[in-house]
Amino acid sequence: MGSEQVMIFVIFDRAIDEEVLELLEKLEISYYTKWSDVSGVGRRDPHLGSDVWPGLNNTLMVVIEEERGKKLLEMVRMLQKSFPSVGLRAFVVPVIDTA
For residue 54, is pLDDT > 60?
yes
pLDDT at residue 8, as a whole number:
98
Residue 12 lies in a domain: yes
The total number of structural domains in the chain stands at: 1
CATH number of the domain within which 76 lies? 3.30.70.120
Residue 84 lies in a domain: yes
Whole-angstrom Cα Rg for the chain: 14
Residue 32's domain comprises: 5-94
Average pLDDT over residues 26-44: 92
- Give a three-class secondary structure readout of the chain: CCCCEEEEEEEEEHHHHHHHHHHHHHCCCCCCEEEEEECECCCCCCECCCCCCCCCEEEEEEEEEHHHHHHHHHHHHHHHHHCCCCCEEEEEEECCCCC
Please state the φ and ψ torsions of residue 3, each to the nearest 5 degrees. -80, 155
Residue 89 lies in a domain: yes
For residue 1, is pLDDT > 70?
no
Q: Which of 7-11, 29-33, 40-44 has the lowest mean pLDDT?
A: 40-44
Residue 99 lies in a domain: no
Residue 65 lies in a domain: yes
Residue 39 lies in a domain: yes
Residue 73 lies in a domain: yes
Residue 54 lies in a domain: yes
pLDDT at residue 99, as a whole number:
87
Amino acid code (one letter) for 52: V
pLDDT at residue 73, as a whole number:
97
**DSSP β-ladder status, 57-65 and 33-38:** antiparallel
- Does this model's pTM top 0.85? My answer is yes
